[in-house]
A and B are shown apart, each in its own frame.
Chain A
Amino acid sequence: MIELRKVSKWYEDFQVLDDCSTKVSKGEVVVVCGPSGSGKSTLIKCVNGLEPFQKGVITVNGTSVGDKATNLPKLRSHIGMVFQNFELFPHISVTENIKLAQLKVLGRDDGEATEKSRSLLERVGLSDQADKYPAQLSGGQQQRVAIARALAMDPIAMLFDEPTSALDPEMINEVLDVMVELATEGMTMMVVTHEMGFARKVAHRVIFMDEGRIEEDCTKDEFFSELRGERAQTFLSKILHH
């Protein structure tokens, strides 16, 4: 469903992605990890064209992301994305956040969009917060609304860019629970995260990145066995230390 072939990207002279190739099949959950600055967030932002890349090809459902002729807004409307800092729109209510793109992009009527928002808020356990503004919610609640907002578009795949990194520890699980549920329902997911518990539980594959390169791209079992390379070994021992 998502395919990257020899993708490279530079900021001026600095190379942030170096010849990255991988694949995410339908229904697959792929976790991307690696030290900060390894290019994992940049890589995931290239998948829906938020960041341009200079070399290589990325296709989503057969459509080339880098092709100038591609209707990017239309392509993006089929791919949900969740950000590290939630990025709910602060000037409109929770329900309006979930409705906005349904109305403006999908052309749903108000009743349908409202009903969809209601059922998604129920699903992420936030029915009672529908009329609040984002700033009135905790981080964990905001991130769950952000997931609901992405799901409202009936996406064919979901991208998560460090969805729990900005959260207080006690709120991480409420977000991970929603993500685990999505994964077990068969959603295609590409998840940048350091939550190895999540990876162990639902990931099919794990990608390890370092210095802009994909160093490991293997099944979950391989990754968590002793077969992985030295850098991944070092990285894992650092984040699993305590």
Chain B
Amino acid sequence: MFAEFDWKLVIDSVPHLWEGMQITLMLTVLAIFGGIIIGTALALLRLSPFKTASFAAGSYVNFFRSMPLILVIFWFYFLVPIIVGRPVGGFYSVLIAFVLFEAAYYCEIIRAGIQSVRQGQVYAGQALGLTYRQNMRYVVLPQAFRNMVPILLTQAIILFQDTSLVYVVGVKDFLVSADLIANRENRLIEMFTVVAAVYFILCLTGSLFVKRLQRKYAL
């Protein structure tokens, strides 16, 4: 089978695949940042003593965690243009979908991270006269994020894989770029093998990096 493997096609496809990979990476990075920012806000609301705020954030999280990601992607693809009143393009609609979806997961990760900081640290900050906000910003969150680094990275790797779902609305990410070439040249085995190998290598490298970090932080 590999005797017929069309290496030339693979090499010729690299520029196209790289374009797709840039979309995939951009989507991953932007969704991580957006997700962490909104997720942090949600976690703070969820842990706040104000019942309404806490309930609203909790409902948001439960809602998105009960939805299949692919449905959310579809939903925003059709919904966002209606809300904005004009077409926004596939990329922005999926970006919004990913940010809002990931925020629910990041919220739970960050909430656990905040709760992992000892109560005594909170007391110490309070006793020095820090306000709630200052205590969060200078004492609790820096420690929480340090404790969370490995799990945040693991979530990032999952997100990197999940971005391939943009296939359903035709955004030209890495997988879709390969798919287009595969169908045009009728070389499905070559293209999908290459795609699988690239995902495998990137994700495995990421996982090994996380493992090393965990060992380092365990000290």
Footprint of B on A, CB under 8 Å? 45, 48, 50, 72-74, 76-81, 83, 85, 87-91, 100-101, 104-105, 149-150, 153, 159
Give the distance to chain B from A4, nearest Cβ to Cβ, in Å. 18
Give the distance to chain B from A153, nearest Cβ to Cβ, in Å. 7
- Chain B interface: which size bin? 10 to 19
A105 to B139, CA, bound (A): 13
Within 8 Å CB of A76, what residues of B? 126-129
- What are 16 A-B contacts with C-beta separation under 8 Å? A50-B126, A73-B129, A83-B120, A83-B127, A87-B118, A87-B121, A87-B124, A88-B124, A89-B121, A90-B143, A91-B142, A100-B128, A100-B130, A105-B128, A150-B127, A159-B127
A104 to B129, CA, bound (A): 9
Within 8 Å CB of A87, what residues of B? 118, 120-121, 123-124
Q: Is the CB of B126 within 8 A of A89?
A: no
**Besides the known contacts A85-B120, A87-B121, A159-B127, 6 further A-B residue pairs in the complex with CB atoms under 8 A apart:** A48-B127, A80-B127, A83-B123, A83-B124, A89-B124, A100-B138
Check B211 for interface membership: any CB of A closer than 8 A: no
Check B134 for interface membership: any CB of A closer than 8 A: yes
**Contacting residue for B126 out of A73, A88, A104, A159, CB 8 A:** A73
Within 8 Å CB of B118, what residues of A? 87
A87 to B127, CA, bound (A): 11
Q: Is the CB of A101 within 8 A of B130?
A: yes
Give the distance to chain B from A109, nearest Cβ to Cβ, in Å. 17
A66 to B114, CA, bound (A): 27
* A contacts with B: majority SS: mixed
Q: Is the CB of A89 within 8 A of B139?
A: yes
Chain B 124-162 per-residue mask, 1 if CB under 8 angstroms from chain A, else 0: 111111110010001100110010000000000000000
A77 to B124, CA, bound (A): 11
Closest chain B residue to A105, Cβ basis: B129
Closest chain A residue to B146, Cβ basis: A91
Closest chain A residue to B123, Cβ basis: A50
A101 to B128, CA, bound (A): 6
Tell me whether A81 and B127 are in contact in the complex, defined as CB-CB below 8 angstroms, given that A87-B121, A89-B121, A104-B134 are known contacts: yes
Q: Could you say which of B118, B121, B124 has the most chain A C-beta atoms within 10 Å of its C-beta?
A: B124
Give the distance to chain B from A17, nearest Cβ to Cβ, in Å. 18
Within 8 Å CB of B126, what residues of A? 50, 72-73, 76
Chain B 66-98 per-residue mask, 1 if CB under 8 angstroms from chain A, else 0: 000000000000000000000000000000000
A194 to B143, CA, bound (A): 32
A78 to B134, CA, bound (A): 17
Closest chain A residue to B127, Cβ basis: A81
Within 8 Å CB of B121, what residues of A? 87, 89
Within 8 Å CB of B125, what residues of A? 89
